[in-house]
Amino acid sequence: MPKSHLLKQWDQEYIWHPFTQMKDWAKEDPLIIDSAQGVYLKDTDGNIYMDGVSSLWVNVHGHRQPQIDAALKKQIDRLSHSTLLGLSNTPSIELAKRLIEIAPKGLKKVFYSDNGSTAVEIAIKMAYQYWQNVGQNKKTSIIHLKDSYHGDTLGSVSVGGIDLFHKVYRKLIFKTISLKGHGWQAIEELEQLLKTKHDKIAALVVEPLVQGAAGMLMWPQGALKKMRVLTKKYNVFLIVDEVATGFGRTGKMFACEHEGVSPDFLCMAKGITGGYLPLAATLTTQKIYDGFLFDYKEYKTFFHGHTYTGNPLACSAALANLDIFQKQRTLTKLDPKIKFLEKKLKMLYNLPSVAELRQKGFMVGIELTGRLEDRIGAKVCQRVRKYGVILRPLGNVIVLMPPLSITIKELDFLVMATFRAIQETENEK
């Protein structure tokens, strides 16, 4: 039996895939990626596909990026892992300094973890414990946005607002306050809430500018800035989840920069290592850090940690990632690509099933008409593979989020392939 057939058999026999209805998966012919180069993936049968979603929003400068490859090879000859519990290591220190240098002004400290969910959960726990440590014991509530998504651990699910993902866990999670509206309606609701209950609210957690998992929902210009003004006025911490929006996805290093916002917590993951290794970081202020500086006997330490916190290999990849941003002027070169993409996407409005296009930088959502149970988005993403493109939908929203290193010619191909796949799916109805 050919190796590719054997791997597909083993996959269906042994692996439980995330966010996947395995009853359907068992009927499909699994696509198994074996290698990659630049913005392209190669499967075990030798077929080549464009990575249209950056391997789930993480790849930044392309696969097998020489500078990151070299950094990892160099680091593996020195140290692969050493704990941050009671010790430190060189790459984690160097990366922390670099992250603070590029982060919004006012952020001073870095707490490492492994993924976006944990980065957000750490921020929530820190915000909650800070108020307990300083004697404001009533400030325990967390506010989040409607249709929010911050990950899949129970703490981050608690501040999630997408019933499809979270409803089944409602009896396991802690109670939060969910804003009911979108855009400026949500801001008005937030202001009234803070006016009357700020003494009981610890923090507001938001996805800045773009709510990714909700289908690339865009916030109006100035909304994030207003949130910052209100949270400062009423002494409530602002937690921004830049897991999806960070590292150039919106056209700037962090989405907060578009509105000059400096939060109390900034959570990052996904693109931090350029798409190479799991790593996350929660950045916070000197004020919050100082709220944990007590004598040991008072037991006000932040009792939280992860085995691979500050892993040297991951931190080395992240340092190389930042070097590439600087040396190759990635963000400067991104601007004409963003403008081209915005112009090219307009052709999709010629398709009857395209209800709306949403874009911020390299984050694109193409909303299709139709019932969720008809799986229109999944059908389009399956069909686009015949044109050599890998996409993954969010319900009936087709997501385009290619690596930042993609060329304009490749962007043109990506949009045209998506157009044809949607058109062909329409014709099947």
Residue 364 vs residues 87, 116, 176, 197, 250: alpha-carbon distances, Å? 42, 20, 29, 36, 10
CA distance 18 to 21: 9
CA distance 264 to 266: 7
How much is the pLDDT for 427?
Answer: 87
How much is the pLDDT for 14?
Answer: 97
Per-residue pLDDT at 145 exceeds 80:
yes
CA distance 226 to 259: 10
Report helix, strand or coil for 284.
Answer: strand
CA distance 372 to 282: 35
- Judged on CB neighbours under 10 Å (0-12, 13-18, 19+), 317 is buried
Mean pLDDT of 281-302: 96
Q: What residues pair up with 110 in beta bridges, in sequence order?
A: 283
CA distance 337 to 316: 28
CA distance 174 to 73: 43
Could you read off the pLDDT of 249-278 as tens digits, one per residue? 999 999 999 999 999 999 999 999 999 999
Could you read off the pLDDT of 103-127 as tens digits, one per residue? 999 999 999 999 999 999 999 999 9
Per-residue pLDDT at 170 exceeds 80:
yes
Residue 30 vs residues 51, 129, 378, 383, 425: alpha-carbon distances, Å? 16, 45, 14, 14, 21
CA distance 3 to 389: 23
Could you read off the pLDDT of 41-81 as tens digits, one per residue? 999 999 999 999 999 999 999 999 999 999 999 999 999 99
Could you read off the pLDDT of 307-326 as tens digits, one per residue? 999 999 999 999 999 999 99
Per-residue pLDDT at 201 exceeds 90:
yes
**pLDDT class of 169 with cuts at 50, 70, 90:** very high
CA distance 418 to 425: 11
Residue 346: what are its φ and ψ, rounded to 5°? -60, -25
How much is the pLDDT for 276?
Answer: 98
pLDDT more than 90, % of the chain = 95
Could you read off the pLDDT of 391-428 as tens digits, one per residue? 999 999 999 999 999 999 999 999 999 999 999 999 88
Could you read off the pLDDT of 7-47 as tens digits, one per residue? 999 999 999 999 999 999 999 899 999 999 999 999 999 99
Could you read off the pLDDT of 336-381 as tens digits, one per residue? 999 999 999 999 999 999 999 999 999 999 999 988 888 999 999 9
How much is the pLDDT for 429?
Answer: 66
Mean pLDDT of 292-296: 95
Q: Minimal CA–CA distance to 19: which of 427, 419, 380, 377? A: 377
Per-residue pLDDT at 1 exceeds 80:
no
How much is the pLDDT for 2?
Answer: 82
